[in-house]
Structure 1
Amino acid sequence: MAEVAEGEGRQARYRVDGMDCAACARKIDTAVRTMPGVEDVSVSVVASTMTIRHNGASDLPAIEKKVKGLGYSVAPLTERQVSSAAHTHDEVCDHDHDHDHGHDHEHAARHDHQIHAHAEVAATHREGEADEALAWWHGGKGRLTILSGAALVAAYIVGHLVPAVAPYAFFVAMLVGLIPIARRAVMAALAGSPFSIEMLMTIAAVGAVILNAGEEAATVVFLFLVGELLEGVAAGKARKSIQSLTALVPQTALVEENGQTREVPAAKLSAGAVVLVRPGDRIPGDGTIIAGDSSIDEASVTGESSPVHKSVDEQVFAGTVNGNGALRVRITAAAADNTIARVVRLVEEAQEAKAPTERFIDRFSRYYTPGVVAVAAAVAVMPPLFAGGSWAEWIYKGLAILLIGCPCALVISTPAAIAASLSAGARRGLLLKGGAVLETLGKITAVALDKTGTLTSGKPRVTDVISFALPEADVLRFAAALEVGSSHPLASAILSEAAVREMPVPPAAGAKALGGLGVTATVEGQPVFLGSPQAASERCNLSTEATARIRALNDEGKTVSVLIVGDQVAGALAMRDEPRPDAADGLRALSAAGIRTVMLTGDNERTATAIGRQLGIPVRAGLLPEDKQRIVGELKAEGLVVAKVGDGINDAPALAAADVGIAMGGGADVALETADAAILHGRVGDIARMIRLSKRTMANIRQNITIALGLKALFLVTTILGITGLWPAILADTGATVLVTMNALRLLRPIE
C-alpha cells in the first residue's frame, strides 16, 4: 500500500472502482470520515482514488471493508519509489558582451515537486488501464445487469407458461437485482447517508411488491441497473479522455551514455539525460534538441494540425512524434514532471475543486432528497386520509415519486460538464485549476497582459540588416562570425538569422568581449567590431544618414548594433523581441468579445509603445511588480472582472491579485504556481478560447439542470394525474442522468 508519513499523521492511498458521480464520492467520504483515527479523506471520482490521512492507529482493513460494503471495489495502491536527479541550468558562454541595453535574466528557483505523489498518480492510471479497457459486460455492474435482465426474461416466460406462479417468479427476478442494491442502501444508511438513491430504490421496489405490482417492481430494478451501467460507461468516457494522455508517452527511451546507446524505461529518465529519438518515434520526455532537426507532430499536446519544424536549442514535449530526422535531445524534466504528467496532475486536481454552481447544487441536493421523501409520503398518505382516496393507488403514486425524485441527474449535471471541459481544455494545452476558475473565466471583462514572453516571443530576433559600406550579406556574415560561441540573447538572434539565410560564417580569431561596449575579433584578416552606436561612434565617425537611420530604428523600439570593419562603418543590425505570430489575432478576438485589453510591462516606454502600436493595444510601461498589482486592483475597482496574463516572477503579485491569473506556459514556475490557469503552449489566441470554453460550459450546465429538473417536474405531474407509474418514473431518472452525462460529453469536442 502507498502509505507515507505526512506531518503528524500518515497517509494511505487506494484505487476505488465503481464511482460514477459526486454522489458516490460523498457516500464514501461520509462513511470513511467517521472511522476511528481518520483525520481527513479525499475522494477523486476522476482519478478513481481515495486518499486517507490518519493518525497511525486506524484500522485500514476495516476502512476497506466499509467502502466495499457500499458497493465499490478497493485496492491499495502499490508504493512506487521514484528518484529525481537535481536539475540545474548553467549557461556556458565563451564570452559575454553588452550592446548598451539591459538584459535581466530572472530564473525562478524550481519548487520541490512531490515526485512520490506524482508517481502514485501515474501508477493509478497504469493499474486502471486494464479495467478501463474491459468491455462493460466484464465489470460487476455489467454482470449484475445481465443477470437481472435474464431473470426478468425468465420470469416473463414462466409467468406466461404457468400464470399461477408468475407473482413468485417476478419476486425472485426482483430479488436478483434488489439484494445488492438493498445491501448498499443499508451500508450507506449505517455510514451516515440514509437518503441514498439505493435506499429510495429499495423502498419503491418493496412497496410495489406489497401492492402486488411484482412484475413492475422487477422491471424497475432492472431499469435502475441499466441506468447505473450507462452512468458508469458515460463517466468512463470522461475519465479516459484524461487518462489516455498518459499513453502518449512511449514505454522506453534510447539513452546515450559514454558513446553507447541503451534502451531504458522512459519512466526512469531524469533531467540531464541525453536520448536519441529516431524518425517516427514518440519523444520520451520534455527536453531541448542538442543535435539534429526535424518536423515534430505536436497535435497530441498542442492541438496544432501541422507539424512544427524544430532544430538545435528548441524545446520539444513528451508524447509528440518525431518526423523524418534523427534527434539528440537533452531531457529537462523528470518523467513525473514532464508536460503530459503535469497536464494530467493539474486537471485531476482541478476537477476536485468545485465551482460555485456545483457547490450550490451539492448543498441543494442535501435538502432536495429528504424533501422528495417528504413529498412522496404526503402524496401517499394525505389523499387517502383526507379525501377518501384509495390507499393502494396513492401509495403507488408516492413510490413513483420516490423514484422520480432521485437526485443523480441533478447532482451530476455540473461536475460532468466541468470534468469534460477541463479535459477538452487540457488536450489543447489550456489548464484550469478548478471549476471555480472555469466559471469565473466566462465573466471576464478585462484582460491585462505582460509584454515579454506573453505578447512577444520572449527572445529578440533580427528585424533589419542595414548596409552602409558593405552589402547586407557581408554585414550579417561578419556579425555572425563575432557571435559564434556566445549565449547572449542578441548573439543568438544574429546567429539564428544567419542560419535562416543559410549564410556561411567565417572563422574569427582573437574574439574578445568588451564589457558594456561590444565584441571585437579578427575576421578574414580584418579587425571587426560589433557594438552599440555610442561605442561605435567613439571608434569611427557615423554619418548623418547612419545616425538618422539608427534613431528611426530606436523609435520603433529596436536595439541597434553597429558593425565596423577595418576603419569604416560597414552596416548595422536592428533587433527586437517581436510579437508572437498570433498576438494580433488573439487580441482582436478578445476585443470582438467585448473584452478590454491593456499591456502591463516593465520594459521601457519606447519599446513597449512600438509593440503596442503594432498590436493595437493600450500600454502601461516601466512598471514594477507592485505597479502591475496596483493597476489590476484599479481595474477591479472600476467594476471589471480582470484576468492577468503573464509568464515571469514579476507577474506573480498581479496574477494573484486578478480575478483569474493566467500563466503563459514555459514561464517561471512561480507564475505557474500562482496562476489559476495556464496556457501551456503560449498562444495568445488561447486566452479567448479559454473564455469561450467557460461560456460554453456554463451554457451546458444550465441545459443539464433544465433537463434534470424539467423531466422530474413533467413526470411528477403525470404521476399524480395517474398517467405514468413506476417504470416510467425510473426511466425518467435514468433517462435524465444519461441525457445530462451525454450532453456534458459534447464539451469534449475541439475548442474553436
Structure 2
Amino acid sequence: MANQTATNQTRYKVGGMDCASCATKIDTAVRRMPGIEDVSVSVAAGTMTVTHDGSGDLTAVEKKVTGLGYSVRALGRRAPFPIAANNVQERDHGHEHGPDCKQHDHHDGGPGHSGHHGAHDHSRHAEPEGLHGHDHRPMEGPWWKSAKGRLTIVVGIALVIAYGIGHLIPSYDSYIFTAAMLIGLVPIARRAIMAAFAGTPFSIEMLMTIAAVGAVVIDASEEAAAVVFLFLVGELLEGVAAGKARESIQSLTALVPKNALLEENGQTREVPAASLAVGSTILVRPGDRISADGVILAGDSAVDEAPVTGESTPVAKSEGDKVFAGTINGNAALRVRVTAAAEDNTIARVVRLVEEAQEKKAPTERFIDRFSRYYTPSVVAVAALVAILPPLVPGASWNEWVYKGLAILLIGCPCALVISTPAAIAASLSAGARRGLLMKGGAVLETLGKITAVALDKTGTLTSGKPQVTDIIAFGRNADDVLRFAAALETGSSHPLAQAILTKADDDEIDIPVANEAKALGGKGVTAVVEGLDVFLGSPKAAAERVSLPMAHARRIAGLNDEGKTVSILIVGGVLAGAIAMRDEPRPDAKAGLQALTDAGVKTVMLTGDNARTAAAIGNDLGIEVRAELMPEDKQRIVGELKREGFVVAKVGDGINDAPALAAADIGIAMGGGTDVALETADAAVLHGSVGDISAMIELSKRTMRNIHQNIAIALGLKAVFLVTTIIGVTGLWPAILADTGATVLVTINALRLLKARIS
C-alpha cells in the first residue's frame, strides 16, 4: 500500500502530464473508482492527491493511472497538510516583562505519520509502451531524446517523404499520406480509446482521431497527415513548457549542497548531506552553502539568505541563531547543530508546500473546469450539425460541410482554455516562493488580490519583537558609565530588556566590569556590587524609593514613557547616575511597507494587546490606525466588524497567538524567518518577515489575475476568429489545429512570464 496520512490522503508523483486534458483524464478515471472521495491533480507539479475512505484499493488506482499511459509513484508525507488558519491552535504566550517584551512561542511540527510500502514498488510501475503515443516520464535532457520528441520527428520525416513520393507518383499520394498519418494517429487513437473507457469520451485525442479519420474519408489525407504532425508538435511544445514551469520550483532543491562536513569524535569528514541526522554537528566553511537547517553552536558570520527569503543583505548570525539549508555562509567558519533531516529542511518544505498548493484550485479554475465539461460536448454537437444539416439543402456539398465540421472539432478543443488558469497560478506560486512569499493554493492567491483591509499585529510584525536601547540619559555620570554599570548588572540575564542593554554595550564595545552579590528584586529591579559600589537598576517607582528624583528628571522620564519607551533608572553608590530607555522599535521597512499598502488603496490597522500609550507611539511613528489593549477575542471581533463593513480582510501576525483573528480573516498571513510557524500556519507566509512583502504578495495576485484574463481572451479569441473563418470557408484543418495548439502554447508562454516577473 502507498503511504497514507492521518486524513486518508495519498499523494502521488505522476509522470508525463503536460496539458490540462491529461489532468482531466486522470481525475475522471480515478474519481469513478470505489472508495475515492476526492481527487486533486496538478499538471504544474506533476502530482495527484487522492482522498479516500480507506476501503478502496490503492493498487487499483495506480493501475488505472498507468493504464492511461502515465507513470505513477507514491510519495510519503510526514504529516497532514495544514489547510488554513482555521486549523491553527492557539497557544499561551505568557510573559512577565511588560508590553515591549512579547515573547513568541514557536512550535515544532506534529509527529510524523508514516506508512509502509507493500510488496510492489510504486516507483517502478511499468509504463505501457506507446499507449500514450509518447513518453510520459518527466522530460529530461534535450527534447529530441525523449520518446515524445522522437515520435514527432519520425512523423515529420514520414510527412516529408510522403510529399516527395506523392509528387513523383500523384496517383498514390492519398495512400502514402494516409500511411504517414497513421504512424502518429495510431498511438493517439489508442489513448483516446483508453480515456473513453476511463470516463472521458470527449478528450482531445478523440476529437483528433475523429477529425483525422474523417479527413481521410473525404479524401483530405494530405491535410490529415499534416494535422496529426502539428498536433504532435503542439503536444511537444506543451511538454517543454510544462517542464520548465515544473523545474522553476524544483530548482530550489539544487541550492542545497550534496555534501557536508560532519564533526564526530573531534574529527571532520565529508558525508552526503542527505545522510545528516538531527543532532549532528557540521562545520560550514566561509563561502560554503549551508547543507542543513540548524542552530549555530560556535562562530559569528554574515549569512546570505537570499535563496530562501529573498533578503538581499546578508544577515549577521552568531551562537544560538538559526540557519537554513541552501543559504551561504559569509566570512567566518560556523559550527552548526542540525535540527532537521534533509527531507524536512526549509527548502524541501517550501518545495513540498508549493507543489501541494498547486493542487488547490482557484475559484476561476474550478469555474473553467465546470465550463469545459459542457463546452467540449457542445462543440462536438455543433460540429456534427455543421457537417450534417447544410448538405440536406439541395445543392450543398457533403464534402465541403463535413470538412468544415471536422475543422470545428479541432478548433473547439478546450486545452488552451483549461490550462489558462492553472498555468498562471503555478508560475505565480513558484515565483512567489523564490521570493520568500508562500501562498497555499490558487484560492489564496486569487483572494489576495481582492484584499481591501489589512490588520497587523504589532510585536514581531510591525516591530522587530526585541526591545532596543533608544536613549541613554546621564544624570550623575556620563553615558558610557551608565551603560557600563547597567550591563554589569544584567550580565547573564535572559530577560529581553537585559538583552537589549547587553547588545547595546556590545555594539558600543564597552568593557563590562564584574558584578558581585547580584540580587533580583521581584518587580522592582536588580542590585549588585560593582567596583566596590552598590548599584541598582530598576523601575522609576522603585528608584524613587531609594533616591529623590528631581522634577526635571521626572518630566524627562514621563516624556520617554509617552513615546512608548520603558525606562530603567540607574543608582550608583546611593546617587542617581542616569537612565536607560528601551523600546521595541518598528522594523526598518515597516513605514514604507504600510505606505505601499495605502497607495494601493488598502486600509491598514494595528491590532495589539500592548498598552495604549506604547501602541500609540508606534502607530504615530508608522502612520497607522491603532487599536490597543486587545484580547484575542477582541481582535477577532474587529476583523469581523471590518468584514461586515464590506472589506476583504487579511490578518497578519505570528500565526499562533492571533489564531482567532487569523481564522476570522479572509486571508491569514504568517510573518517569520523560515520557521515552522511561518511555513505551516495560516493561508500564506512571508519568510523574509518584511511588511513590504505583504503589498508585493497582493500585487503578485493582481498581476496573476490579469495574466489569467489575458490567457482566457487568447484562448477564446483565437477560437472565435477561426470558427468564423472556417464556417465562411477561409480556413481549413491546418489553421484549425494551429488555433488549438498555437493558443495552448501562447497561453503557456504568457503564464511563464510570471516566473520572471520582478516582485517589488
**Given the two structures, how large is their TM-score scaled by the length of structure 2?**
0.90
Change (3 A) 1:312 1:132: farther
Partner of residue 577, structure 1: 584
Change (3 A) 1:204 1:131: closer
CA distance in 1, matches of 2:623, 2:514: 43
CA distance in 1, matches of 2:14, 2:445: 27
CA distance in 1, matches of 2:270, 2:498: 37
1:52-91 alignment runs, 5 A limit: 52=50, 63-72=61-70, 74-77=71-74
Q: Greater CA deviation, 270-279 or 45-54?
A: 45-54
Structure 1 counterpart of 2:442, from 432, 435, 444: 435
Give the SS at the match of 1:459. Answer: strand
Partner of residue 83, structure 2: none
Partner of residue 30, structure 2: 32
Partner of residue 721, structure 1: 728
1:182-261 alignment runs, 5 A limit: 182-261=189-268
Partner of residue 539, structure 1: 546
Change (3 A) 1:98 1:25: closer
Partner of residue 112, structure 1: 110
**One-letter amino acid of the counterpart of residue 751, structure 1:** I
Partner of residue 488, structure 2: 481
Question: Residue 298 of structure 1: CA displacement?
Answer: 1.9
Partner of residue 472, structure 2: 465
Contact kept? 2:309, 2:674, Cα under 8 Å: no
1:392 aligns with 2:399: yes
CA distance in 1, matches of 2:682, 2:292: 24
1:115-136 CA-partner distances (Å, limit 9, x unpaired): 65999xxx99xxx9x9454221
Unaligned runs of 5+ in 1: 83-96
Change (3 A) 1:61 1:338: closer
CA distance in 1, matches of 2:597, 2:56: 53
Partner of residue 84, structure 2: none
Partner of residue 745, structure 2: 738
CA distance in 1, matches of 2:342, 2:230: 45
Change (3 A) 1:335 1:570: farther
Give the SS at the match of 1:737. Answer: helix
Contact kept? 2:484, 2:511, Cα under 8 Å: yes
**One-letter amino acid of the counterpart of residue 76, structure 1:** R
CA distance in 1, matches of 2:160, 2:675: 63
1:619 aligns with 2:626: yes
Partner of residue 551, structure 1: 558
Change (3 A) 1:475 1:674: same
- Taking only aligned residues, the RMSD between alpha carbons, in angstroms, comes to 2.8
1:490 aligns with 2:487: no
**One-letter amino acid of the counterpart of residue 417, structure 2:** L
1:699 aligns with 2:699: no
Contact kept? 2:13, 2:75, Cα under 8 Å: no
Change (3 A) 1:161 1:113: farther
**One-letter amino acid of the counterpart of residue 17, structure 2:** M
Partner of residue 445, structure 1: 452
Partner of residue 711, structure 1: 718
Contact kept? 1:422, 1:431, Cα under 8 Å: yes
CA distance in 1, matches of 2:543, 2:276: 49
Structure 2 counterpart of 1:683, from 686, 690, 694: 690
Partner of residue 146, structure 2: 139
CA distance in 2, matches of 1:14, 1:669: 24
Change (3 A) 1:54 1:654: closer
Structure 2 counterpart of 1:49, from 44, 47, 50: 47
Change (3 A) 1:394 1:107: same
Q: Greater CA deviation, 419-428 or 309-318?
A: 309-318
Question: Residue 113 of structure 1: CA displacement?
Answer: 5.1
Question: Residue 52 of structure 1: CA displacement?
Answer: 4.7
**One-letter amino acid of the counterpart of residue 423, structure 2:** A
Contact kept? 1:482, 1:511, Cα under 8 Å: yes
Partner of residue 759, structure 2: 751
CA distance in 2, matches of 1:183, 1:235: 23
CA distance in 1, matches of 2:458, 2:76: 44
Question: Residue 103 of structure 1: CA displacement?
Answer: 4.8
Partner of residue 650, structure 2: 643
Contact kept? 2:486, 2:570, Cα under 8 Å: yes
Change (3 A) 1:301 1:103: closer
Partner of residue 93, structure 1: none
1:282-361 alignment runs, 5 A limit: 282-361=289-368
CA distance in 1, matches of 2:619, 2:55: 62
Question: Residue 250 of structure 1: CA displacement?
Answer: 1.9
CA distance in 1, matches of 2:13, 2:189: 24
CA distance in 1, matches of 2:41, 2:112: 19
Structure 2 counterpart of 1:415, from 389, 414, 422: 422
CA distance in 2, matches of 1:62, 1:118: 17
Change (3 A) 1:379 1:113: farther
CA distance in 2, matches of 1:751, 1:477: 45
1:15 aligns with 2:13: yes
Change (3 A) 1:445 1:481: same
CA distance in 1, matches of 2:142, 2:521: 70
How many residues in Structure 1 have an aligned counterpart in Structure 2?
Answer: 729
Q: Greater CA deviation, 55-64 or 371-380?
A: 55-64
**One-letter amino acid of the counterpart of residue 30, structure 2:** V
Question: Residue 65 of structure 1: CA displacement?
Answer: 4.3
CA distance in 2, matches of 1:114, 1:423: 26
Partner of residue 86, structure 1: none
Contact kept? 1:464, 1:574, Cα under 8 Å: yes
Question: Residue 27 of structure 1: CA displacement?
Answer: 0.7
Question: Residue 254 of structure 1: CA displacement?
Answer: 2.6
Contact kept? 2:5, 2:114, Cα under 8 Å: no
1:153-181 CA-partner distances (Å, limit 9, x unpaired): 12112222332332222111101100110
1:364-375 alignment runs, 5 A limit: 364-375=371-382
CA distance in 1, matches of 2:55, 2:602: 55
**One-letter amino acid of the counterpart of residue 216, structure 1:** E
Contact kept? 2:310, 2:688, Cα under 8 Å: no
**One-letter amino acid of the counterpart of residue 618, structure 1:** E
Change (3 A) 1:260 1:206: same
**Given the two structures, how large is their TM-score scaled by the length of structure 1?**
0.91
Give the SS at the match of 1:719. Answer: helix
Identity %, equivalent residues = 73
Question: Residue 12 of structure 1: CA displacement?
Answer: 5.8
1:161-218 CA-partner distances (Å, limit 9, x unpaired): 3323322221111011001100000000011000000000000000111111111101
**One-letter amino acid of the counterpart of residue 356, structure 1:** P
1:9-51 CA-partner distances (Å, limit 9, x unpaired): 7x76543211023331221122233345656544332332334
Change (3 A) 1:194 1:338: same
Change (3 A) 1:684 1:209: same
CA distance in 2, matches of 1:190, 1:508: 83
Contact kept? 1:118, 1:345, Cα under 8 Å: no
CA distance in 1, matches of 2:362, 2:38: 21
Change (3 A) 1:99 1:240: closer
Q: Greater CA deviation, 306-315 or 612-621?
A: 306-315
Contact kept? 1:652, 1:674, Cα under 8 Å: no
Contact kept? 1:29, 1:42, Cα under 8 Å: yes
CA distance in 1, matches of 2:532, 2:266: 38
CA distance in 1, matches of 2:274, 2:294: 14
Change (3 A) 1:101 1:646: closer
Give the SS at the match of 1:649. Answer: coil
CA distance in 2, matches of 1:42, 1:223: 30
1:496-525 CA-partner distances (Å, limit 9, x unpaired): 111212222222223332222222222223
